[in-house]
Amino acid sequence: MGERLSGGTTGAASRPRLAPAPLPSFPMPSFSFQCPPGTRDFYPQDLLRKRYIEKLWRDTSIRHGFEEIDGPTFEHTDLYTVKSGEGIVSEIFGVFSGKDEAGVKEMAAKLAAGSGAMAPYALRPEFTPTLARMYAARAAQLPKPAKWFWMQNCFRAERPQRGRLREFGQWNCDVIGEGSHATDVEVTSCCTDVLASTGLTHLDLQIRLSHRDAIDHVLHRLGVPDEHRDSARSLLDARTKLGERQFIERASPLGLSETGVGVLLDLFRNRRKAQPGAVASLLDCATKAGAVAEQGVPTEWGVLAAIQDEVATTPWHEWMWFDLSIVRGLAYYTGMVFEVIAEGERAIAGGGRYDNLIETFGGPPTPACGFGMGDVVLGNILQDRGLMPEGRDLLEALSRSAASLRPDVFVISNGTPEADAALRPLVARLRRGVESRAWLDRADRKPWQADRYSVPPLHARYSYKVTKNIGKLLQDAAAQHARYAAILEGGERATLKNLDTREERKDVPIDALAAAVCARP
Amino acid sequence: MGERLSGGTTGAASRPRLAPAPLPSFPMPSFSFQCPPGTRDFYPQDLLRKRYIEKLWRDTSIRHGFEEIDGPTFEHTDLYTVKSGEGIVSEIFGVFSGKDEAGVKEMAAKLAAGSGAMAPYALRPEFTPTLARMYAARAAQLPKPAKWFWMQNCFRAERPQRGRLREFGQWNCDVIGEGSHATDVEVTSCCTDVLASTGLTHLDLQIRLSHRDAIDHVLHRLGVPDEHRDSARSLLDARTKLGERQFIERASPLGLSETGVGVLLDLFRNRRKAQPGAVASLLDCATKAGAVAEQGVPTEWGVLAAIQDEVATTPWHEWMWFDLSIVRGLAYYTGMVFEVIAEGERAIAGGGRYDNLIETFGGPPTPACGFGMGDVVLGNILQDRGLMPEGRDLLEALSRSAASLRPDVFVISNGTPEADAALRPLVARLRRGVESRAWLDRADRKPWQADRYSVPPLHARYSYKVTKNIGKLLQDAAAQHARYAAILEGGERATLKNLDTREERKDVPIDALAAAVCARP
């Protein structure tokens, strides 16, 4: 019985119980129960470990300017059958109230007819449909973009095994109402920031980026007709579970010849670190192999190139790779997609752009991008690598100050090209913090130690608006209750305003901004 | 559509939806969904308010030495049918996996037979059965007492209305393995402490204590035979929903004459503040009315008297009342029971002693005592009385340091009667903190202001063991990672040991202990 981290005791797949029949009145004979298979009992030590992961999730979300939301644990079943795709629908737990007689009758009739047991409600197998429903319901009043995070449990009726349970913790971050490649990078950066804060490094895992349209273009070029595109994508997503022979056999009826499969697999092996030139070189290979049209670079490759340039300005460029084999199982993705991969484990996280989903749920056309990360695979990895604190260390790590819900600093460009270019890289650095020399020199260095940062990670925000009206942006900063506004005067220096006291310091070097903000009164 | 606090948008009881049928492939027409009736969508501002309540719950639990646990969101249905009582079982949401063909077939057969729709699993309507199952499974290895808290959602298929939803937040605190009246008082104190921290006072609400056996004794004296005892208790619990006439009519077949009902209702009206003499005077009235035997005071009245004396030493004596009309609906209570009542609202919280439940779930005989508090009624009350912070205040309140998971101080008696008597009152005061003069003098005083406490509430623990071996108790303090141990040398002074640095200060007046502990290095 796996008693791994991130997990307390897992219910065994079988269900050994004594004396099952309920008895009418007290006193009763003794008997014992286990938790349902694939769910967990968290005794105090088990739960502290889960809370440790959740604290990293929460603090990182807040520092990246995400606000927390929540929805019901169960939803109308139709919310999932509409758009999540076959894979998820087959794993839904049905929910019904015995008091809802009409609903139960309808369900009983369906069950009797053997037509797929659909209850009126379903335990959420994922959160994105709820988020899309919520955004759609209030799109007119909500900010653009809305940056939302969510942390609760999800439920899937899968066979329990390592890294996969029937109830698991999940963290989502989504930016809704912004379609820029900068948003794609901000979302993947937030995901990477959490992983770095656990003590994992770019040597332990990779953030692998791709683009749905790039894959579709390749499939089209290799002969897959439109009507088989979805099936071909599903086949690609299941690729690692199949042998090469089996893969070729299943690919053939979808229009992919053995040669086509070869081209595809070559392309998939051709992973590139996301540094200058990576996309061009990947595109060059793909074109030579005939997987991309010679004339006119397709738009999605332009998006990948823009992502590549943006990634270069973040603290995360060592972590990010381009990998066209990343397809993602969910049906609703439309653009950039990514997965976080540690060798030999299930994906730690995954996400991407889903620009049509809000509209599907009755909202206006709204671009959106986000990701989800579970607690089970990450917990296993941290536990295995000694990256999970224990005892007093764990209590202290969990008692340490949380990220401030008031933004520590709201960064504004003065409108010059130098300031514009410096804005997002500065925000990313402020959110990251600076690890201290003393800590880096420690032989017994651990990620949860109190002396890790000389400049702590900050809650930094900026405006997604294109306005250059600084007065208006300062109003936004105040409305969001930021403590400081930093106005970039070019690429090197900033004016720092304390929005509580109205004090102002001019000409602060941008490398000194964080320290100035941290010197709280 | 109630958009109250503690709650975002509530799904209306009806279910207006457009275009219900799922469509097979993209693109699809637009339609809109609502959350299921009685559940809530929490947009960022809504969720911050729920998190505010949860922060008070969590911090107070930790300072009282409770450790957090968690269990599955759904359990085997039998876990509830066994012991929670009819009321809860009728409100269960059934859960099943479509992949579990045998289970679905069995359920379909039961549904077709119309024999109460019981699914293999149930969404938890309450947490206590899970807690009892978990304790029973590991009783031999777990500390005695185990002090556990839990904060998640519960689910009941009730008709949604003010103060009552189908999915709601719930906080439980339980002491398992200790049967003393001091534990009963510690549990009710923790519950009261949270309410005081919200800014509510003893003028706003009352903690009303009673004892199951005292009620049973009265029922027996008034002519209710043993076989009708449970029904009579249920009738009492439902009393306020019935007219007096209706109550008398239903009481008669249970053996309660109209005279008996009169005696009972007199007793119920006879509420007493829990101060010295209260229990004796209440007992006197009951005896004169013939509701209690003249000869030999029944044990349960002795328990109530001991609770009365203990309450007098806590900061909460103004809040506590004895009220024999408190019965509690759940079937498993065995001793002290209590409810928190604000005029005109559903009960805010309730709990009591359940000394047989762990054994029922296969554990050894284990006394236990605890309570639950929901987020809905409390949220409504805070919102209505201006006790819910907004905007910047709310962000700051939520960003303030959490209670330390390492105990700030572990208090030990040196074994003299004076020290023994001073121990628990001191612990209760340390957990409470001291409100500052400056804050108390503020005209715009609000409970969430940063200057509220001159001495902040501390995480204080003590040992429940009867040993006088101070060396052993210091080991316990160190094993629990306490920062300080305070050894009471009589009722006035203590020796304070810093367990990290081994520094020691002798002869510290007990009123100066908290300040000394707060002066962290």
pLDDT in tens, A494-504: 999 999 999 99
Using CA atoms, how far apart are residues A494 and A411, in angstroms rounded to an integer?
A: 9
Query: For chain A, which ranges sit under pLDDT 50?
Result: 1-8, 11-31, 521
Of B173, B182, B189, nearest in space to B303 by CA:
B182
Our CA angle for A319, A322, A324, nearest 5°, is 140
The SS3 call for residue A97 is strand
Q: Does residue B463 sit within a domain?
A: yes
Q: Does residue A421 sit within a domain?
A: yes
Tokens of B498: 């810093």
Which residues of chain A are within 8 Å of residue B47 when distances are taken between CB atoms? Answer: 68-70
DSSP string, A258-323: HHHHHHHHHHHH--EESSTTHHHHHHHHHHHTTSS-SSS--HHHHHHHHHHHHHTTSTTTTTEEE-
pLDDT of residue A117: 55
Interface A-B: count of C-beta contacts within 8 A: 270
pLDDT of residue B14: 37
Q: What is the dihedral of CA B273, B369, B191, B229, to 10 degrees?
A: -50
CB-CB under 8 Å, A78 with B35: no
pLDDT of residue A154: 97
DSSP string, A405-423: SS-SEEEEE-SSHHHHHHH
Which residues of chain B are within 8 Å of residue A520 when distances are taken between CB atoms? Answer: none
B85: left (phi over 0), alpha (psi -120 to 50) or beta: left
What are the percentages of helix, strand and coil residues in chain B, rounded to 5? 40, 20, 40
Using CA atoms, how far apart are residues B191 and B193, in angstroms rounded to an integer?
A: 6
- How many Cα atoms sit within 13 Å of A280 on the Cβ side? 4
Query: For chain B, which ranges sit under pLDDT 70?
Result: 1-32, 83-88, 114-117, 520-521
Task: Give the per-residue SS3 of A209-267.
Answer: EEEHHHHHHHHHHCCCCHHHHHHHHHHHHCHHHCCHHHHHHHHHHHCCCHHHHHHHHHH
CB-CB under 8 Å, B111 with A104: yes
CB-CB under 8 Å, B112 with A112: yes
pLDDT digits (tens, 9 = 90+) for B128-184: 999 999 999 999 999 999 999 999 999 999 888 878 899 999 999 999 999 999 999
Return the residue matching tokens 């605890």: B370
Nearest-Cα distance to chain B for A107, in Å, is: 9
Cα radius of gyration (chain B):
25
Strands A93-97 and B93-97, bridge-based pairing: antiparallel
Of B289, B224, B231, nearest in space to B263 by CA:
B289
ipTM exceeding cut-off 0.85 for this assembly: yes
Per the CB < 8 A criterion, the answer to whether A369 and A183 are in contact is yes
Alpha-carbon torsion (B352, B353, B359, B364), positive or negative? positive
Spacing of C-alpha B159 from chain mean position: 24
Backbone angles phi, psi at A232, to 5 degrees: -65, -40
Q: Does residue A457 sit within a domain?
A: yes
The SS3 call for residue B220 is helix
CB atoms within 10 A of CB A235: 18
Structural domain that includes position B506: 404-521
Tokens of A383: 């536990």
Q: Please provide the size of chain B in residues.
A: 521
Question: Domain holding A497: CATH number?
Answer: 3.40.50.800
Sheet holding B206-211, edge to edge: B67-68, B146-155, B167-176, B368-374, B349-353, B336-341, B206-211, B320-322, B272-273
DSSP-H helix ranges across A5-122: 44-63, 78-81, 86-89, 101-112
Return the residue matching tokens 């308010």: B49
CB-CB under 8 Å, B28 with A47: no
Per the CB < 8 A criterion, the answer to whether A384 and A369 are in contact is no
Q: Does residue B491 sit within a domain?
A: yes
Which residues of chain A are within 8 Å of residue B69 when distances are taken between CB atoms? Answer: 41-44, 47
- How many Cα atoms sit within 13 Å of B461 on the Cβ side? 29
Which residues of chain A are within 8 Å of residue B157 when distances are taken between CB atoms? Answer: 97-100
DSSP-H helix ranges across B276-374: 278-288, 299-311, 357-360
The SS3 call for residue B436 is coil
Per the CB < 8 A criterion, the answer to whether A163 and A346 are in contact is yes
Which residues face B372 on adjacent strands? B172, B350
Using CA atoms, how far apart are residues B462 and B422, in angstroms rounded to an integer?
A: 12
H or E element in which residue B321 lies = strand B320-322
Residue B259 Cα distances to B154, B265, B411, angstroms = 41, 10, 52
Contacts of A375 (CB under 8 A, 6+ apart): A6, A7, A50, A53, A54, A168, A169, A170, A171
CB-CB under 8 Å, A33 with B362: yes
Query: Mutation test of the interface with chain A: which of B41, B152, B168, choosing the one with the most A Cβ atoms within 10 A?
Result: B41
Query: Mutation test of the interface with chain B: which of A32, A41, A361, choosing the one with the most B Cβ atoms within 10 A?
Result: A41
Residue A10 has what DSSP assignment? E
Q: Does residue B40 sit within a domain?
A: no
pLDDT of residue A374: 96
Query: Mutation test of the interface with chain A: which of B15, B35, B334, B458, choosing the one with the most A Cβ atoms within 10 A?
Result: B35
Contacts of A165 (CB under 8 A, 6+ apart): A7, A10, A38, A39, A40, A158, A376
Amino acid at A479: A
Q: Does residue B420 sit within a domain?
A: yes
The SS3 call for residue B70 is strand
Per the CB < 8 A criterion, the answer to whether B287 and B301 are in contact is no
Q: Does residue A425 sit within a domain?
A: yes
Q: Does residue A21 sit within a domain?
A: no
H or E element in which residue B375 lies = helix B375-384
Alpha-carbon torsion (A38, A39, A45, A47), positive or negative? positive
Residue A403 has what DSSP assignment? P
Q: For chain A, how many structural domains are there in total?
A: 2
Residue B501 Cα distances to A388, B480, B482, angstroms = 25, 16, 12
